[in-house]
Amino acid sequence: SQQGEEDPQALSIQEGENATMNCSYKTSINNLQWYRQNSGRGLVHLILIRSNEREKHSGRLRVTLDTSKKSSSLLITASRAADTASYFCATVFITGANSKLTFGKGITLSVRP
Amino acid sequence: NAGVMQNPRHLVRRRGQEARLRCSPMKGHSHVYWYRQLPEEGLKFMVYLQKENIIDESGMPKERFSAEFPKEGPSILRIQQVVRGDSAAYFCASSPPNKGTTEAFFGQGTRLTVV
């Protein structure tokens, strides 16, 4: 079953504004990752946060993880038109040799110039 | 080091034919994942393989679908007797052998159209 559930499903903002996207999941995880997909292309990894971490930064990206609430958020600051894409959270739960990556349905972000 | 290579990029098959999708992982990567994506939807997990082993195939239909990742050569996702509902984008991802603690690298996908 799908592990991550992102919200909102779609987000439209003005260039320069911040974009906040949320992800909730159901079971224990070892880490949570955020990916980006431009239309018709493969996914590109953005950032990984481990279950023992609470916050991580990478450039204009800030990810938080609250394992007690089983939720994560991705913040993109000072958005640009080029940030327009779909964003997916993915969870990893490692059991033995199995460390599969399970994705949510994604959030469509539109940044208006 | 080339990225994950998938071929073909586009594949058209008539109902009842077989579709073979290939994925060459990044050099040194021993884990391969296959996902299916329908238009405007997320990625649905199909199968997770390591060299010569299927680790998790819980997302793959029991009939008509099979996957392999041999010791030598690319991973193959095979769909027999395709139906219109198999039309989708199929993505392959690979990761190094460190038990899911790093990112997965995705190919550009194979878009399968069944006519």
Cβ <8 Å between B93 and A33: no
Residue A39 CA to chain centroid, in angstroms?
A: 17
Is A94–B99 a contact, with Cβ atoms under 8 angstroms apart? yes
Instruction: Determine how many CB atoms are found less than 10 A away from the CB of residue B98.
Output: 10
DSSP string for residues in chain A: ----EEE-SEEEEETTS-EEEEEE-SS--SEEEEEEE-TTS-EEEEEEEETT-SEEEETTEEEEEETTTTEEEEEE-S--GGG-EEEEEEEE--BTTB--EEE---EEEEEE-
State the nearest Cα–Cα gap between B109 and chain A, in angstroms. 6
| Per-residue pLDDT tens over the stretch A72-84 | 999 999 999 999 9
To test the contact with chain B by mutation, choose from A45, A99, A103 the residue with the greatest count of B C-beta atoms within 10 A, namely: A99
CA of B16 vs chain A CAs: smallest distance (Å): 26
Q: Worst-scoring range by mean pLDDT, A51-65, B41-55, B72-86?
A: B41-55
* Longest Cα separation, chain B: 41
Of A2, A30, A101, the CB nearest to B104: A101
Indicate whether A94 pLDDT > 90: no
Give the list of residues 6+ apart from residue B93 with CB closer than 8 angstroms, or none: A43, A101, B4, B32, B33, B35, B104, B105, B106, B107
* Distances B91 to B68, B75, B76, B94 between C-alpha atoms, Å: 15, 12, 12, 10
Residue with tokens 């997990």: B45
Contact of B104 with chain A, judged by CB distance below 8 Å, is answered with: yes
Say yes or no for a CB contact (<8 Å) between A100 and B56: yes
Give yes or no for B38 touching A (CB within 8 A): no
Query: Among A35, A99, A106, whose Cβ lies nearest the Cβ of B99?
Result: A99
Tens of pLDDT, residue by residue over B13-59, are 999 999 999 999 999 898 999 999 987 778 899 999 999 999 999 99
Q: Above pLDDT 90, what percent of chain B?
A: 80
CA distance B59 to chain A (A): 8
Phi and psi at residue B84, to the nearest 5°:
-55, -35
Question: Do B79 and B16 form a contact (C-beta atoms < 8 A)?
Answer: no
B56: amino acid identity, one letter: D
Does A1 have pLDDT greater than 60? no
Give the total residue count for chain A: 113
Residue B58 Cα, gap to closest chain A Cα (Å): 9
Whether the predicted pLDDT of A69 surpasses 60: yes
Q: Which of B41, B45, B105 sits opposite A100 (nearest CB)?
A: B45
- In angstroms, the CA A84 to CA A75 distance is 14
Q: What is the largest CA-CA distance in chain A?
A: 47
Nearest to B108 among A31, A42, A88 (CB): A42
Over residues B54-77, the mean pLDDT reads 95
